[in-house]
Structure 1
């Protein structure tokens, strides 16, 4: 069976932007206004294919679940830039953002036509009533060369979302109204929904030190440091709901790297992607106890796996064999560290043998190798 309905989507957009420069005491100051207009229209197709070979799903029941979705958004932006030095700039920017629902969020009925798990049968379903997720994004930062040999890029941001799209877990016993068009053998669903309010704030900093700038003996030696921290909260429209942690925000991560380059060849040592990651446990889905009576929503009882933090070491190198030919390769997760990725493992529970199997299957790859060649024509 197909994982989701076929669909056809059209996106049209256009933008206008200008940059106005001023001289402020021999420092350049720029104002950059802009506006973007975007329209998207999506509709499902070939719904009969979705119900093929299923004993519990029919084309009519799928048609009752899924319809057309379209919207138009006007997105203004405004940026201020100021050159502190000829090589270092600070900026403050506002951007209105929009994220249209994608095909999986609209028509993604993964497992909807299956019947193999008895009372444990679950499905991930889409929602064509989704509204476009909009955001107001404010960011301040610095980027450029602080002094000779040291480059810096840093930013602080605050993003406020309306109609934030996330998945909510519902059970047939507690939320029968959510199962009107769902096959009777499905007892748990995860459905894409709009949260009325959500916000994410945080900061990131990355810097590179070129030691050869100060010590000729180590020309080509460099070090890279990077850190990213973000925090998010969300609140649904249910009466009595409150702000809770936004589980789709990744934990703190850091990168520490070292590189060495020489004429004709380059050898670089660095940790890999997200090499240092803080452990975290996703919050329970309190919205599944929704009654909309105005009383406080009770805490959910689900016990999710705490995804442990981890550190990894990668080694990569490349050699410029000829002007147009470069060999590159690397060993990733050099110490063969066993670890889990938070964003892909945060929904794993801990109460059953199946949960233990899911945890074992979610382990990320161990030590791996890569070798490639780039030829520029």
Structure 2
């Protein structure tokens, strides 16, 4: 059993009203009020040893996510005119409630056979007052920009979505070939796969479950590595494969979970395409306390987008096309580093 408490209260907020003909000290205090909450978080884990080297478990855990300062009070970004229509702001929401969750997970980990280690897990998480950001544009949601400076064209605000759930699973395995063939001692292969889905809804009249856009798409990893048995040097070649995914826009027109029935959104986010990427890494233990690490990432110079950072890009305007171009992830990159342990 754990007990968590958070209390957030901005200081010197009255300074924000100085020299202002619009805001009073009382207004600022209402905008930046105190937020406090306490949560009791029980957990229970049952474990069973299938063999001395392989165990299975079943666990329940209660979770809580308190609103952070940015979600409660907001922050302005790109406040200068040079950024044009790319400027945005995070609008605070002091009415946010603590997000709570009930998490159930079953898993197994250990050595399933000589030379083969595995880890697998299946999970199902339910959330109440799930905290997520809603994106509003000046063109599609003009009423939301009444008190927003004219040089800001996009705003984000965190809100509580009354119900949400996420489920999925992951499995990884490592095969040490030297266990069976002494000639290739140090050679290994790794396989990993992860999948998750989630949906959320608010208490708006007529609202329905929609895909949770903050859930990452399916991903698989295949790798081959060779490590000197003495751990003096080693190298690895790793291929990553990520499935494409499109986030779902909604017509939520308010910052609070109340209002009239919600219609289907007319906005459409870009479908972030899937991709495959190849990385090569190596290390050399030069001395007992000195290790050199290096690598070449995205060897094939693949053009790709990261879903979590690109999911809210729309497709209707020239600015959307520019945003899409700016969101492209780095191509082929090199890295070299030295670690010295004192």
For structure 1, list consecutive stretches of 5 or more residues without a partner in the other structure: 1-34
CA separation in 2, counterparts of 1:118 and 1:327? 44
In structure 1, how many angstroms separate the alpha carbons of the residues matched to 2:224 and 2:24?
57
Give runs of ≥4 in structure 1 deviating > 6 Å. 48-53, 112-121, 171-177
- 1:266 is aligned to 2:233: yes
Distance 1:365 1:122, change over 3 A: closer
Residue 255 of structure 1 is matched in structure 2 by 221
TM-score (norm 2): 0.89
- Decide whether the 8 Å contact of 1:253 with 1:278 is kept in 2: yes
- For residue 78 of structure 1, what is the aligned residue in structure 2? 44
Do the aligned partners of 2:76 and 2:88 also contact (CA within 8 Å) in 1?
no
- 1:343 alignment partner, SS class: helix
Partners of 2:198 and 2:211 within 8 A in 1: yes
Equivalent in the alignment of 1:341: 306
Once the 2 structures are TM-superposed, how far is the Cα of residue 118 of structure 1 from its aligned partner? 9.5
Describe the shift of the 1:128–1:148 C-alpha distance in structure 2 as closer, same or farther (beyond 3 A).
Answer: same
Deviation of the 1:247 alpha carbon: 0.4
1:211 maps to which of 177, 186, 205: 177
The separation in 1 between residues aligned to 2:38 and 2:309, in whole angstroms, is 31
Contact in 2 for aligned 1:318/1:328 (Cα 8 Å): yes
Question: Structure 1's 351 and 316: CA in aligned 2 closer, same or farther, altered over 3 A?
Answer: same
Identify if the C-alpha distance between structure 1 residues 321 and 57 changes in structure 2 by more than 3 Å, giving closer, same or farther: farther
Residue correspondence of structure 1 range 1-377 to structure 2 within 5 A: 35-47=1-13, 62-111=28-77, 123-170=89-136, 182-183=147-148, 185=150, 189-262=155-228, 263=230, 265-271=232-238, 275-288=240-253, 295=261, 297-377=262-342
State how far apart, in whole Å, the 1-side matches of 2:94 and 2:41 are: 23
User: Aligned-pair distance for 1:325?
Assistant: 1.5
Relative to structure 2, which stretch is displaced further, 133-142 or 344-353?
A: 344-353
Q: Across the two proteins, how many residue pairs are aligned to each other?
A: 338
Supply the distance in 1 between the matched residues of 2:128 and 2:104 (Cα, whole angstroms).
15
Query: How high is the TM-score relative to the length of structure 1?
Result: 0.81
In structure 1, C-alpha distance between the alignment counterparts of 2:86 and 2:59, rounded to whole Å: 48
**1:322-358: CA deviations, max 9, x gaps?**
2221111111111111110000000111111111111
- Once residues 57 and 187 of structure 1 are traced to their aligned partners in structure 2, the CA distance between those partners, rounded to angstroms, is 22
Q: Is the CA contact 2:53–2:110 (under 8 Å) kept in the aligned structure 1?
A: yes
Tell me the CA shift for residue 46 of structure 1. 4.1
CA contact (8 A) 1:37 1:75 kept: yes
2:225 and 2:108 mapped to 1: Cα distance?
A: 24
The answer (yes or no) to whether the contact 1:150–1:209 under 8 Å persists in 2 is yes
SS at match of 2:9: strand
Kindly state the Cα deviation for residue 109 of structure 1 after the two structures are TM-superposed.
Answer: 3.0
CA distance in structure 1 between the partners assigned to 2:130 and 2:335 by the alignment: 38
1:204 deviates by 0.2
8 A contact 1:66–1:127 mirrored in 2: no
Greater mean alpha carbon deviation, residues 118-127 or residues 256-265: 118-127
What is the RMSD of the two structures over their aligned residues, measured on CA atoms?
3.0
Any idea what SS the aligned residue of 1:45 has?
Answer: coil
Note if contact 1:316-1:328 (Cα within 8 Å) is conserved in structure 2.
Answer: yes
